C-alpha cells in the first residue's frame, strides 16, 4: 500500500550554480514532480536554489531561471541535493560550505548528484562516511578528502543523513529511492515506468565507463563480439572459441584484441562476468553458487577469487553493501 503523505509537502532544495550539470537538477525535479502527480497529492515541493539566487547558467548553456538564494531558503528543508558541474562551478561553491555545514543537524537528507559530492566532501561532511561520485572524479575525491570512504562502483550510497550518487543520471536513481521510502514502491514504480527507467538499475557505474570505452575503441568486428560478451558472459569463452567467433587465428585474435582494447580477452571476459555477478548480487537473493553459475564462472570458488582480485571484497560483502539501497526507514525491508 502507498504510504501516507505528510500534511505539508516535503521541501526539497536542489542546489546549483553557474557551470552546474543541468540534468543533475532537472532529473531529480522531474522525479519529485511526477511523484506528486502519481500520488494524487503534493508530497514534495522542489525548490531550485543557488548561492546568490536568480538565473543559473548550466555548463551546457541551458539557463535555469529564478532560483532562490541559499540564504532565503526556508528553515524547514526536508532534503538538500547539490548538483555536480564543471571545475570553475564547483570551486564557486567554496563560499557556501558554511551554509551546508549549518544544515547538517536540521535537514533529514543531505545529498549530492555526480561531482556534487566533492562539495559535500570539501565541507567536511563526508569524513569517515561511505560515499560515491562520478567515476571520472574518483581520483580527485581521494586527493581532496582521503578520509572519505569512497565506493567508486556504486550507483548511489546511503550513509544517513548523507546520500551521494554517481554520474549524472544516477541522481534520478537516488531520488526514486527517496520516493520509494517516502511514498511506497507503487508510486516509485509508476514514476520509473513513466520515465522509462529501471526501478533499480542493475550493475555499478563502472559498466558505463570502462566497458563502453573498450567497446568504442574497437573495430566493428570486435565491437559486436564485445557487446555480445557483455550481454551474455556465460558458456565457452575460451581463447579458441572467441578467436573462432571473430574469424581469426588465436594468435592474431589475441594481438588484435589487446591492441584495440588495451586488455586481454581473458581479462575482459572476467570483467564481463564480474559485471553480471554484481548485477545479480544487487538485484536478487539467489545463493552465491547460483550467481556464479549464471554469471559464467566455473565454480563458486572462481567467483570468490575474481571478486577478491578485482573488487577487493567477497561476493557476500558486495551484496551487503550494494544489495539493498539502505534508503528505507529503519526496520523496513523491500
- Tens of pLDDT, residue by residue over 61-70, are 999 999 999 9
Q: What angle do CA 296, 231, 242 make, to 5 degrees?
A: 65
For domain 205-322, the CATH class is: mainly alpha
Structure confidence at residue 109 (pLDDT) = 95
pLDDT of residue 324: 53
Beta bridge partners of 13: 47, 80
Neighbours of 220 (CB within 10 A): 7
For the record, the C-alpha cell of 59 comes out as 555548463
Dihedral, 230, 232, 238, 239 alpha carbons, nearest 10: -40
pLDDT at residue 35 above 90?
Answer: yes
pLDDT, position 148: 96
pLDDT at 203: 56
What pLDDT does residue 1 have? 44
Q: Cell numbers of 148, please?
A: 572519505
Tell me, what's the pLDDT at 3?
55
- Whether the predicted pLDDT of 207 surpasses 60: no
pLDDT of residue 193: 87
Q: Distance between CA atoms of 285 and 282, rounded to whole angstroms? A: 8
pLDDT tens readout for residues 163-180? 999 988 999 999 998 998
pLDDT at 166: 93
Check residues 212 and 113 and name the one with the higher pLDDT.
113
Q: What percent of the chain has pLDDT over 90?
A: 63
Q: Which residues of 279-292 are buried (b: 16+ CB within 10 A; e: fewer)?
A: bbbbbeeeebeebb
Q: What are phi and psi of 31, to 5 degrees?
A: -60, -50
- Quote the pLDDT of residue 210: 45
Q: What is the pLDDT of residues 231-290, one digit of tens each?
A: 789 999 999 999 999 999 999 999 999 888 888 999 889 988 988 898 888 778 899 999
Taking the C-alpha atoms of residue 272 and residue 266, their distance in angstroms, rounded to an integer, is 10
Question: Taking residues 305-331, what's their average pLDDT?
Answer: 72
Given a cut of 60, whether residue 206 has pLDDT beyond it is no
Average the pLDDT over each of 10-24, 71-85, 201-215, 281-295 and give the range with the smallest value.
Answer: 201-215
pTM reported for the whole predicted model? 0.67
Q: Which pLDDT score, from 0 to 100, does residue 325 have?
A: 44
| Positions of CATH 1.10.10.60 in the chain | 205-322
Range 7-30 average pLDDT = 96
Pairwise pLDDT comparison (331 vs 59), residue with the higher score: 59
Instruction: For the chain, give the mean pLDDT.
Output: 88
Q: Please, where in the chain does CATH 3.40.50.880 lie?
A: 10-194
Number of CB atoms found within 10 A of residue 167's CB: 22
Long-range contacts of 177-183 (CB under 8 A, 24+ apart): 177/325, 177/327, 178/31, 178/79, 178/109, 178/327, 179/31, 179/32, 179/35, 180/327, 180/328, 181/327, 181/328, 181/329, 182/3, 182/10, 182/43, 183/2, 183/3, 183/5, 183/35, 183/39, 183/43
Q: Give the DSSP letter of residue 158.
A: E
Q: Which of 80-84, 87-91, 206-210 has the lowest mean pLDDT?
A: 206-210
- Residue appearing with cell numbers 538485484: 283
Within its chain, how far is the Cα of 324 from the centroid?
14
- Lowest mean pLDDT of 16-20, 212-216, 271-275, name the range: 212-216
Q: What is the CATH number of domain 10-194?
A: 3.40.50.880
Q: What is the mean pLDDT of residues 97-117?
A: 96
Is the preceding omega at residue 76 within 30 degrees of 0, hence cis? no
Contact 101, 120 (CB under 8 A): no
Secondary structure class of 249 (helix, strand, coil): coil
Amino acid at each position: 500500500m502507498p504510504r501516507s503523505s505528510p500534511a505539508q509537502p516535503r521541501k526539497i532544495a536542489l542546489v546549483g550554480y553557474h557551470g552546474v550539470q543541468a540534468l543533475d537538477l532537472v532529473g531529480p525535479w522531474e522525479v519529485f514532480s511526477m511523484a506528486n502527480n502519481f500520488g494524487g497529492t503534493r508530497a514534495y515541493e522542489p525548490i531550485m536554489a543557488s548561492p546568490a539566487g536568480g538565473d543559473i547558467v548550466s555548463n551546457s548553456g541551458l539557463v535555469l531561471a529564478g532560483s532562490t538564494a541559499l540564504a532565503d531558503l526556508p528553515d524547514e528543508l526536508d532534503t538538500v541535493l547539490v548538483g555536480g558541474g564543471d571545475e570553475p562551478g564547483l570551486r564557486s561553491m567554496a563560499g557556501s560550505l558554511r551554509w551546508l555545514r549549518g544544515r547538517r543537524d536540521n535537514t533529514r537528507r543531505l545529498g549530492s548528484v555526480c561531482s556534487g559530492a566533492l562539495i559535500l566532501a570539501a565541507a567536511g561532511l563526508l569524513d569517515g562516511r561511505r560515499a560515491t561520485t562520478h567515476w571520472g572524479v574518483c581520483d580527485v575525491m581521494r586527493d581532496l578528502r582521503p578520509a572519505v570512504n569512497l565506493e567508486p562502483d556504486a550507483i548511489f550510497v546511503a550513509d544517513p543523513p548523507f546520500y551521494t550518487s554517481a554520474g549524472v543520471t544516477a541522481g534520478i536513481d537516488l531520488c526514486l529511492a527517496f520516493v520509494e521510502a517516502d511514498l511506497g514502491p507503487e508510486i516509485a514504480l509508476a514514476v520509473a515506468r513513466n520515465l522509462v527507467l529501471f526501478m533499480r538499475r542493475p550493475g555499478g557505474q563502472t559498466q558505463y565507463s570502462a566497458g563502453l570505452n573498450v567497446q568504442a575503441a574497437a573495430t566493428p568486428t570486435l565491437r559486436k563480439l564485445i557487446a555480445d560478451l557483455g550481454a551474455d558472459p556465460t558458456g565457452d569463452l575460451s581463447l579458441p572459441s572467441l578467436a573462432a567467433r571473430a574469424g581469426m587465428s588465436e594468435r592474431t585474435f589475441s594481438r588484435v584484441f589487446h591492441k584495440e582494447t588495451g586488455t586481454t580477452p581473458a581479462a575482459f571476459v572476467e570483467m564481463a562476468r564480474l559485471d553480471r555477478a554484481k548485477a545479480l548480487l544487487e538485484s536478487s537473493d539467489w545463493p552465491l553458487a547460483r550467481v556464479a553459475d549464471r554469471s559464467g564462472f566455473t565454480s563458486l570458488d572462481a567467483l570468490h577469487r575474481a571478486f577478491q582480485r578485482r573488487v577487493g571484497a567477497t561476493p557476500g560483502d558486495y551484496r551487503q553493501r550494494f544489495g539493498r539501497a539502505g534508503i528505507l526507514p529503519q526496520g523496513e525491508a523491500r
